[in-house]
Structure 1
């Protein structure tokens, strides 16, 4: 064998050894990141006492091959949870070779890993430094996407629109708490989506009205019901934009605000009696349960009980088909979405600017919209004809 052939063989062996090393390192890093992702979902560390009684736990792994630019990682361990609620978001099924690193960076960023932490991980993987600024520049491709997404055409009809806001620490000249406004909808076929989100300095009915005008100008013409909290002036703001829509006060928010005014020793019994009200099969039985609530608790908690007895907007959902009422008065799926957004923003003491906040929220919104686009909410297929009739009666 000539020297040239010998050198070529050595170089090939060296390249293969390097690739094997990189694949091993990638496998180790990806598995660790997915374990951390599962920990964030479960909200407790492995073997921690905090996990007892939560109703969910780790449940081993399943294995999958994963293609990278350096070759295929075999038997990558994907963690599972016992309730099958965890869907890892870090690693796509098969990444394109030409943008694998960028995709990984964006997915890590979308799952709350800071730009500095990503830079350190990439440096360990490749041996050369990616600065936090470089990582931020890579994720900046989302800014144009966000702008296009905010301007996209929207569906004409939504059976239900939920409006909700959460607060994040955002640095402008100083660090303060800013509001992220979310408009979430269920369309006439029963599919959920985040219709839009906006960032503002504080939550107000005036800003909500502006946002609703914005989605109306992009195509949302007909809405049967808005579900919202008790922010002052919000129902009037909604009716100025959608005068034919019904209003439902969010039962979840109402229960929480009521419990704050109930003594600890009475909370369990009071909430049980309250549940008999909002889970009643019809309005007549709900009124009977309200009467019983009043008789039992009226003397001890007059203001709380009156707030349930004299607010018709708490029971608008009885106007809708029974099969979807639980989707109206319970907002578990929205609470879960909000929890995920809060989890991301809490990984940072404060977000450096509004663009950083928009990028982070946008990545999570897109993930959820992709999942929701394939899962129709239970009860909406059964209610479809009734909802179509309601649209016809309101908007004929």
Structure 2
């Protein structure tokens, strides 16, 4: 007899209830015998004609019998109560796709036709677990054709293209609700970054920018506010984005950190006149280094450091002038010009203390997310429409953030159950946020104080 080490008490507390119940109901001897006899008789455990499929079939049929008993008010072998006209009326075979393959069950009927099973609903062609699997595969970047082939080859479930398409399309309403949900009235910092996607437009493919906005609330928690695909040019597009955020409840933003997006500063000034638009310093460094030969990388980056670590704008300007007058500056004038042309949007960074500078120095808070999204986009190649792209990006972001939340929960020693509002796409707290919000309070006391309580 196999001896299994019992989980520790803390591990038991983190176990899903289904696993606890399964361990209580299915003894090791029962499982061992099931596996052993399936091997001896050449019966597969999963997939088409698998033993687990038969076990699921028996469980579903027994469960539906119990549901029908509750619906009628008397058991299968009991005398029908006086005054009751409804009764059992045989069964109807029904095939449903599940996570272990297609399963054909005998679904019970009643004479009145009023019985509806919750386990196997009317008109359902797949059970909930499989639907979640399909959505997960879609969020990973697989096409409908890829998902269909994967389900057939792994679990033997052959779903039509339309069935899978309808399941993924159903997410569209959830995405629309998320894109229009109310937001906090105040975000001290908003990060904006873009990733390029391919959209099929008639007979050709166009390259478009999908912009993702991450807002940091008063408690330092990061939230993905929305996804916008740029179809119009410059200020017109950004005016629409800012208006949508304002209509969803955003009244004030202290700092918007981005990468020199054309038309964005004008749109922000029109919507939130007192907001600061800050160019991402890391993006600025990268942009200037494009003009520098590899052999001069170390020397040039060393020469740049006094600019973005300067105590104030005057010191930063002196460091830039010194670089421009140096042999390196003369050798790479285009690299110096990158800083000169972006100076107006870079200098707000220099007015803040060390803690705020660490927060707005880079858009890495959103770039790490976009890095994972780019891998998924690469798998897909192209999208049939803007809505399809937004749907996939939302699913991917939700899955990424849920995975990160589970990892944080594990590290913190708490249960992996999500503490935030489900599917709101809520991230971690910004590092050293307490110091940063104190510095921001000193700089903008009248704007921060109303939202502290």
TM-score of the superposed pair, with normalisation by structure 1 = 0.71
Unaligned ranges ≥5, structure 1? 1-9, 26-67, 71-96
SS of residue in 2 equivalent to 1:315? helix
Map residues 271-286 of structure 1 onto 2, 5 A cutoff. 271-280=301-310, 283=313, 285-286=315-316
Residue 102 (structure 1) aligned with residue 134 (structure 2): no
Distance change (3 Å), C-alpha of 1:282 and 1:369: farther
Larger radius of gyration: 2
Residue 163 (structure 1) aligned with residue 192 (structure 2): yes
- Alignment partner, residue 393 of structure 2: 361
Unaligned ranges ≥5, structure 2? 1-33, 51-97, 101-125, 406-425
**Per-residue deviation, 1:229:** 2.3
**Per-residue deviation, 1:202:** 5.2
- Alignment partner, residue 388 of structure 1: 441
- Alignment partner, residue 430 of structure 2: 377
RMSD value, Cα: 3.2
- Alignment partner, residue 161 of structure 2: 132
Instruction: Assess if the C-alpha contact under 8 Å between 1:155 and 1:220 holds in 2.
Output: yes
Residue 228 (structure 1) aligned with residue 258 (structure 2): yes
- Alignment partner, residue 118 of structure 1: 147
SS of residue in 1 equivalent to 2:209? strand
Map residues 1-396 of structure 1 onto 2, 5 A cutoff. 20-22=45-47, 99-173=128-202, 174-201=204-231, 204-280=234-310, 283=313, 285-296=315-326, 297-309=328-340, 311-370=343-402, 371=404, 373=426, 375-394=428-447
**Per-residue deviation, 1:14:** 6.9
Q: Deviations over 1:354-383 (max 9, x none)?
A: 232121111123234544735211111122
TM-score of the superposed pair, with normalisation by structure 2 = 0.63
**Per-residue deviation, 1:98:** 5.0
d(CA) in 2 for partners of 1:98 and 1:19?
21
**Per-residue deviation, 1:222:** 0.9
Q: Deviations over 1:219-255 (max 9, x none)?
A: 1111001112223333122101111001211223222
Instruction: Assess if the C-alpha contact under 8 Å between 1:317 and 1:328 holds in 2.
Output: yes
SS of residue in 1 equivalent to 2:359? helix
**Per-residue deviation, 1:165:** 2.3
Instruction: Assess if the C-alpha contact under 8 Å between 1:153 and 1:219 holds in 2.
Output: yes
**Per-residue deviation, 1:258:** 1.2
**Per-residue deviation, 1:170:** 0.7
**Per-residue deviation, 1:269:** 1.5
* Mean CA deviation greater in 254-263 or 286-295: 286-295
Distance change (3 Å), C-alpha of 1:130 and 1:282: same
**Per-residue deviation, 1:121:** 1.5
d(CA) in 2 for partners of 1:374 and 1:170?
28
d(CA) in 2 for partners of 1:256 and 1:299?
19
d(CA) in 2 for partners of 1:133 and 1:275?
56
Instruction: Assess if the C-alpha contact under 8 Å between 1:193 and 1:369 holds in 2.
Output: no
SS of residue in 1 equivalent to 2:173? helix
Instruction: Assess if the C-alpha contact under 8 Å between 2:193 and 2:363 holds in 1.
Output: no
d(CA) in 1 for partners of 2:211 and 2:361?
20
